[in-house]
Structure 1
Amino acid sequence: MTTLNRRRFFGAASTAGVAATMSQGVALASGRDARKPRLVGVQADNGASVIAQNFHDPRTVDITIDSVALGHTASVRIILPYRFRSRSSASWPVLYLLHGGYGDYLSWAQYSDIARLVRKRDVLVVMPDGGELGFYTDWWARGAGNKPGWETFHLVELSQILARGLRAADRRAVAGLSMGGFGAMSYAARHPGFFQAAASFSGTLDTLHPTVEPVSSDPYPTWLLQTHITPNGYDALSLFGDPTAQRVVWAAHNPADLVKRLRGTKLYVSCGNGRIGPLDPPETDPSDVSVRFEAAQLLQNREFVKRVTRLELDVTFETYVGTHTWPYWARELGKAFPFLMRAIEAGSSGG
């Protein structure tokens, strides 16, 4: 398996179908003139603090957080609400965007149309680092601890910093692709009420799925640990533990096992069918891993939606002809965007 193909499993690599102009984003309107917020020094309760900030334009800023939960620093790309500067006392709904495996905090900004989507939206867009294979959890670490603590970093440290430094409200939505789709649904289920809406694009929604067909006949946990976790230098038993001996740990984070906890959360799920579609380059090889893996993801998505539907939860489920690649995730974010904005009452300023 080539490095490129391995990276494309969870959503790091783009394809030729992503336009260069999208990777550069769209110039953001600044709203009315006012001072830039200063985030350096803003702290969470446990002492995690912002140690650097860098504005790229009046509304786009990268911050670096010295995280206690992670034991190291991590970065976050933030897009401020359109009227942030002119409404100094307002609080703002928040949209979290979670990247896929081998991606980073810049992935959504580089490969999607998020800048254009929020050009005149009063929403705080937060795109945090989630580790190349962090899997949006506080790692079990063989039962000895919880580092790296991605879940605590995102939902405690970062959330408190956003509230204190940028007046983030408690109206939140979360969306993610592949590994980030797992994160979106796992976070929403593990913390009922924290998010009003959750969206998954080609997400890993059943980490205890019995196979990864047509990629492998192995159970998903075995395949994940042997194909990605161990080869990248991680201890296979540190993420969630052994899939059999620590099955309860796996299940406690598995979206398909947590569907009862999603009642009251508006859900959006979309996934391709693993066939070459309209956004794939003409030369796409049908045997490419990005094609076959999307078919495997669809099996997980169908199982998750079946369990959600059985409970009569509020879910929108979309399938399409397409592969496990960025052009589809960028398109799906655009389709889900109005749904997410309605859920958190994020208004538009027109234009």
Structure 2
Amino acid sequence: MMSAPDPEREPDDGYGIRADDGAVIVGTWFRAPRTLDLAIRSPVLNEVGRARLLLPRGWSPTARRTWPTLWLLHGGPATAGGTSGHTAWTSGTRIEHLTRDLDVLVVMPDGGRCGDHTDWWNHGHGGAPRWETFHLSELRQILDRGYRAGPERAVAGVSTGGRGALAYAARHHGLFRAAASFSGPLDLLRADPAGLDGADLVRLVAETGCPGVDWRRIWGDPVGQRAVWRRHNPYDLAVRLAGVRLYLSAGDGDPVEALARKGTGRLAGRLRRLGIPATVHLYEGPRSWDRWERELRAALPLLLAEIS
């Protein structure tokens, strides 16, 4: 049985839990009694991917029961208005305290320094990094097989992770029962000559998080490869969100948050026209982890109602 040892122990390579494509656990660390970090050698990333779990009370890898999962996605690098990495939520919020009495397994995966939560287009050639496949195929299978994750899932994200959360729920219909976006850029393709637009944000996040990397590797040019962008743009995916419980929020006060607010409002309007219900909270104030934690608290009852 996997117990909670010294938080500073060396990684344990002995579990060997694998996904179908050969992705395998190569290390685990307990950072605190509930906080377990995973290292996964991933064929679709060509590197080691990481995830942080918050384990529910009574969890055991040999338990007969399974637990619903709440996936929390990070945003872009701090210089682009977010905080990236699998430790972002535990660094930026009191998520351990907020979830300590919840009967859910919390999953916080790394989505790459560029904060994309997507399989890169790579000028039409595909290939690594494929973050969406890492999350929803490799990591999901590993959690199901070795960490008693059940089929009941909800997903939420901040900033670019908010876009990722809604895109995941739409692109993989039925995988997530509920989804929430906090300050997510939810309409990437609406040009805004007077301010930041979606293409600007993708470029900014890529150039700050992955210096020297051509940002067009992600989805191509927003004009020349518009169809690729649309396949990842929540506004264009709105009809596929039918049946998913939704919570959308954004503030104002800085250019990145203004972009999120406009896109959130446009998506909310399209969902309304489609007859798809959503809880929407547009508020005053710039992006911050304090506000995102407040929004998660507000969204949790909706998210948990669908997976409990």
TM-score by length of 1: 0.79
Q: Which runs of 5+ in 1 are unaligned?
A: 1-33, 275-290, 346-351
| Residue matched to 1:255 | 234
Structure 2, unmatched stretches of 5+, are 5-11, 78-83
Q: Do 2:45 and 2:131's aligned partners in 1 also have CA atoms closer than 8 Å? A: yes
Distance 1:230 1:56, change over 3 A: closer
2:288 aligned partner, one-letter code: T
AA at the equivalent of 1:333 = L
Residue 68 of structure 1 corresponds to which residue in structure 2? 43
- Given that 1:84 and 1:122 are in contact with CA atoms closer than 8 Å, whether structure 2 keeps it comes out as no
CA contact (8 A) 2:163 2:184 kept: yes
SS of corresponding position for 2:217: coil
Question: Is residue 2:201 matched to residue 1:220?
Answer: no
Contact 1:212–1:296 (CA under 8 A) maintained in structure 2: no
Q: Report the counterpart of residue 125 of structure 1 in structure 2.
A: 106
Matched, 1:295 2:258: yes
Which position in structure 2 is the counterpart of 1:338? 301
Contact conserved, 1:267 with 1:315, CA < 8 A, in 2? yes
Q: Closer, same or farther in 2 for the Cα pair 1:307/1:59, shift >3 Å?
A: same
After superposition, the C-alpha distances for 1:233-280 in whole angstroms (9 at most, x for unaligned) are 211321001111111000011100000111110000011132xxxxxx
| TM-superposition CA deviations, 1:164-186 (whole Å, max 9, x none) | 00111110000000000010001
Q: Secondary structure at the match of 2:270?
A: helix
Counterpart AA for 2:28: Q
What residue in structure 2 maps to residue 162 of structure 1? 143
TM-score (norm 2): 0.90
**SS, match of residue 52 in structure 2:** strand
Distance 2:202 2:161 in 1: 17
1:109 and 2:90 matched = yes
Give the distance between the partners of 1:267 and 1:180, measured in 2 at CA. Answer: 15
Determine the structure 1 residue equivalent to 2:3: 36
Kindly state the Cα deviation for residue 48 of structure 1 after the two structures are TM-superposed: 0.3
Distance across 2 between alignment mates of 1:299 and 1:44: 39
Q: Residue 59 of structure 2: SS of its match in structure 1?
A: coil
**Counterpart in 2 of 1:150?**
131
Which residue, 200, 206, 209 being the options, matches 1:229?
A: 206
**Which entry has the higher C-alpha Rg, 1 or 2?**
1
2: distance between equivalents of 1:301 and 1:169? 30
Aligned residue-pair number: 292
The structure with higher relative contact order (CA 8 Å, sep 6+) is: 1
- Answer yes or no: is 1:203 the counterpart of 2:178: no
Do 1:113 and 1:334's aligned partners in 2 also have CA atoms closer than 8 Å?
no
Superposed structure 1 runs of 4+ greater than 4 Å apart: none
Separation in structure 2 between the aligned mates of residue 269 and residue 307 of structure 1, nearest angstrom: 13
Amino acid at match of 1:120: D
Stretch deviating more after TM superposition (335-344 or 247-256): 335-344
Q: Relative to structure 1, is the Cα distance of residues 128 and 225 closer, same or farther in structure 2, using a 3 angstrom cutoff?
A: closer
Q: Distance in 1 between matches of 2:189 and 2:65?
A: 43
Over the aligned positions, Cα root-mean-square deviation in angstroms equals: 1.8
Q: CA deviation at 1:220?
A: 2.5
Aligned to 2:9: none
Distance apart, 1:85 and its partner CA: 3.8
- Choose 239-248 or 223-232, whichever is displaced more: 223-232
* Percent identity for Structure 1 against Structure 2: 44
Output the CA distance in 2 between the equivalents of 1:257 and 1:54. Answer: 40
Partner of 1:59: 34
